[in-house]
């Protein structure tokens, strides 16, 4: 007999979690390991404790909530996502996957369904990467994709290290981060783009994800008074920065699948009457084809070198800080998502994720897939982010179907070949 989640319970919890770190604009701000993030975790854990689930934590702050199976030694099915948000985040990014995962566990309890395998609900630390870089940090460390010590040394804008916050919140006393030997991983998420809504599809069958590369670029000049120094004698980094911006935008027009974003620009010292001495910016390059992403990388490095030669009055430094390679998800799990959508008569289509997710890291260690549901106008990382009660319930039901099928199976899926690691990298050019 087919099981169905309690969509009203799921919606109530989504709205209750949204009040933790609520913003005046209607969104949520729970930056990783902040007091608001910890309050959100406490609310979530209270719901888990009320059901008597086993709770495990690790040294980087990841949470694992276990519903046991008949065979306690069998490799678990993993589901989950994250609870941290952007500073101006919405109510669904990440949190949907966590609370829908809890709803899956409770639905199985309510129906007295016993699975062969345990099910572990994962809450990954610092998926967003807005306070501490790089993104997808908790899953990256747990999967051996990121180095723990380097992650602990990451600093936020105020100079606080990740290690400082983990000590403050008591996670430093937990077990070393390690992904449990697992059957598979399934993550539900809003699309964060406009395709599903535009095509009136309820379910996105995620076949993989774009490769992502992050860069830090600095132009060093010489700060001086805005009045006395003639334009021709200045060592002003801003005109050079304008050329860098043009370069990045040109790379973004390489082909229709290329994505280039300048997320932050800082001028120092930032005074109205001072010619800046330094301009710093971040660049995000993405493409679903790794060879094309390599080409975009080379275009950026070659373009920066040409600017160095043409603007010797300034120094230009540009280096790669993080690389998450293109991801291909597991074919058996992808077909299981399609089968659930068909059985439930939900309109669906295959889709490639344009955003990064913890599933990208986990996919390098265990068979993985994702399920997308639409978000209104494709808006995400924004207080206006919205997914309808119907769509979040539909996505949770597909998550339930695939999780139940895998946790009831007696044999595990074959492990994927290990892909190149996503890690913090040295300068390349």
Tens digit of pLDDT at every position of the chain (429 positions): 789 999 999 999 999 999 999 999 999 999 999 999 999 999 999 999 999 999 999 999 999 999 999 998 999 999 999 999 999 999 999 999 999 999 999 999 999 999 999 999 999 999 999 999 999 999 999 999 999 999 999 999 999 999 999 999 999 999 999 998 999 999 999 999 999 999 999 999 999 999 999 999 999 999 999 999 999 999 999 999 999 999 999 999 989 999 999 999 999 999 999 999 999 999 999 999 999 999 999 999 999 999 999 999 999 999 999 898 999 999 999 999 999 999 999 999 999 998 999 999 999 999 999 999 999 999 999 999 999 999 999 999 999 999 999 999 878 888 886 544 433 333 333
CA distance 271 to 256: 39
Write down the domain spans for the chain: 7-209+326-407, 211-324
Q: Do domains 7-209+326-407 and 211-324 have the same CATH topology?
A: no
CA distance 194 to 256: 15
Is the previous residue joined to 269 through a cis bond, with omega within 30 degrees of 0? Answer: yes
Is the previous residue joined to 134 through a cis bond, with omega within 30 degrees of 0? Answer: yes
* Helix axis angle, 35-51 to 95-110, nearest 10°: 10
Tell me which fold the domain 7-209+326-407 belongs to.
Answer: Aminopeptidase (3.40.630)
CA 77, 81, 82: angle at the middle one, nearest 5?
A: 145
CATH number 3.30.70.360 given to 211-324? yes
| Of 370, 360, 365, nearest in space to 336 by CA | 370
């Amino acid at each position: 007999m087919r099981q169905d989640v309690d969509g009203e319970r799921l919606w109530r919890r989504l709205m209750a979690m949204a009040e933790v770190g609520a913003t005046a604009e209607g969104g949520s701000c729970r930056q990783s390991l902040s007091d608001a993030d910890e309050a959100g975790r406490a609310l979530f854990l209270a719901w888990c404790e009320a059901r008597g689930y086993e709770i495990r934590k690790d040294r980087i702050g990841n949470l694992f909530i276990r519903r046991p199976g008949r065979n306690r030694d069998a490799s678990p099915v993993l589901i989950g996502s994250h609870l941290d948000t952007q500073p101006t985040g919405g109510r669904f990014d990440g949190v949907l996957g966590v609370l829908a995962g809890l709803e899956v566990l409770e639905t199985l309890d309510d129906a007295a369904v016993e699975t062969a395998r345990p099910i572990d609900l994962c809450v990954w630390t610092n998926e967003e990467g807005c306070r501490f870089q790089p993104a997808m940090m908790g899953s990256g460390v747990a999967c051996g994709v990121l180095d723990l010590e380097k992650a602990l040394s990451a600093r936020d804008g105020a100079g606080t290290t990740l290690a400082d916050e983990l000590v403050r919140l008591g996670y430093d006393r937990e077990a070393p981060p390690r992904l449990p030997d697992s059957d598979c991983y399934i993550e539900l998420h809003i699309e964060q783009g406009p395709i599903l809504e535009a095509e009136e599809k309820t379910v996105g069958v995620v076949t993989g994800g774009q490769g992502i590369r992050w860069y830090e670029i600095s132009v060093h000049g010489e700060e001086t008074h805005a009045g006395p120094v003639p334009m021709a004698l200045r060592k002003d980094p801003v005109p050079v920065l304008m050329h860098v911006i043009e370069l990045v935008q040109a790379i973004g027009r390489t082909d229709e699948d290329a994505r280039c974003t300048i997320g932050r620009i800082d001028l120092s010292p930032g005074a109205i009457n001072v010619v800046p001495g330094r301009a710093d910016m971040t660049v995000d390059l993405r493409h679903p084809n790794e060879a094309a992403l390599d080409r975009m990388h080379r275009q950026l490095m070659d373009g920066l070198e040409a600017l160095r030669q043409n603007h010797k009055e300034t120094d230009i430094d540009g280096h790669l800080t993080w690389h998450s390679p293109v991801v291909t998800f597991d074919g058996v799990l992808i077909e299981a998502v399609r089968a659930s959508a068909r059985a439930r008569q939900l309109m669906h289509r295959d889709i490639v994720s344009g955003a990064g997710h913890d599933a990208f890291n986990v996919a390098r260690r265990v068979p993985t897939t994702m399920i997308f549901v639409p978000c209104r106008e494709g808006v995400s990382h924004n207080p206006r982010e919205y997914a309808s009660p119907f769509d979040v319930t539909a996505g949770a039901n597909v998550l339930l179907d695939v999780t139940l099928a895998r946790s009831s199976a007696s044999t595990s899926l074959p492990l994927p070949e290990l892909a190149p690691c996503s890690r913090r990298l040295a300068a390349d050019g």
